[in-house]
Amino acid sequence: MTNQSPMLQDRTALVTGASRGIGRAIANLLAAQGGRIAVHFGSDGDAAEAVRRELATDGHVILQADLARPQEAAALPDRAADALGRLDMVINNAGIFVPHDIGALDAESWQKAWDRTIAVNLTAPSLIMHGAVPHLEKCGGGHLVNITSRGAFRGEPEAPAYGAAKAGLNSLTQSLAIKLAPKRIHLVAVAPGWVLTDMTESFLNGSAGEGIRGQSPLNRTANADEVAQVVLLAVSGRADALTGGIIDVNCASYLR
């Protein structure tokens, strides 16, 4: 029996928000499958460097960018391609969740929360994909994966801009899946619910945890490694019929 080559051997990926949580799990899994990773981070360079060091094999890089700044988001694909030598795939994972109660905020505060959420969660991924397409074309095609949320469907009453941004990102994924298909560029959205990570563990293990887990008939949440496995399938080249799809990863806590 011969050993199979890693799924992503000689391929490269930009993973945004890769210094922790879901992004870290994605970066680790893609690297374990032979990929070389550009680990993007916003502010915690030490955490990003720790992720880079823990990745399998060599040739990984870290890149800082404030995704609330359009020019920095737009520049990321070129920077990743320059650092890695090429760019085969992008995983838009970075996002922010800013609570903003419509009944408790004045107009200026509401607008501020709205603008920052949309900038990071929707505008930045659109700019990154725009910048990535020429690089993927040079590789003969590639993959773009957007991490969205079940909140795009069930609503986010405490952070409506988050739900709106993720709904927009789902729609953008589907629009570009059609537009870019002739270029052999495949797009998938992955929509988790609550995910157990180092960031959410204390909350999920607190007083709210039982109620959150109870939303699922499995009485649990997903974990970051499960989300990463779905991303791996989407970029593997072994299931490109998924293009244009939105894959729920929420333990049946919300069905549509």
pLDDT in tens, the chain (256 residues): 456 679 999 999 999 999 999 999 999 999 999 999 999 999 999 999 999 999 999 999 999 999 999 999 999 999 999 999 999 999 999 999 999 999 999 999 999 999 999 999 999 999 999 999 999 999 999 999 999 999 999 999 999 999 999 999 999 999 999 999 999 999 999 999 999 998 899 889 999 999 999 999 999 999 999 999 999 999 999 999 999 999 999 999 999 9
- Is residue 162 annotated as a catalytic residue, yes or no? yes
Are 18 and 219 spatial neighbours (Cβ–Cβ below 8 Å)?
A: no
Model pTM above 0.75: yes
Spatial CA neighbour of 23 closest among 3, 5, 42: 42
Residue ranges of domains in the chain:
12-247
Per-residue confidence (pLDDT) for residue 1, from 0 to 100: 45
> 41, 153, 162, 194: which is the annotated catalytic residue?
162
Per-residue confidence (pLDDT) for residue 5, from 0 to 100: 74
Are 52 and 26 spatial neighbours (Cβ–Cβ below 8 Å)?
A: no
Q: What's the alpha-carbon Rg for the chain, to the nearest Å?
A: 18
Q: Where are the beta strands (DSSP E) in the chain?
A: 12-15, 36-41, 61-64, 89-92, 142-147, 185-192, 195-196, 222-223, 246-249
132 forms beta bridges with: none
Q: Which fold has domain 12-247?
A: Rossmann fold (3.40.50)
Both tokens assigned to 216:
């699922």
Per-residue confidence (pLDDT) for residue 3, from 0 to 100: 62
Per-residue confidence (pLDDT) for residue 191, from 0 to 100: 98
Are 144 and 129 spatial neighbours (Cβ–Cβ below 8 Å)?
A: yes
Are 163 and 149 spatial neighbours (Cβ–Cβ below 8 Å)?
A: yes
DSSP H/E element including 155: none
Contacts of 243 (CB under 8 A, 6+ apart): 177, 181, 186, 187, 188
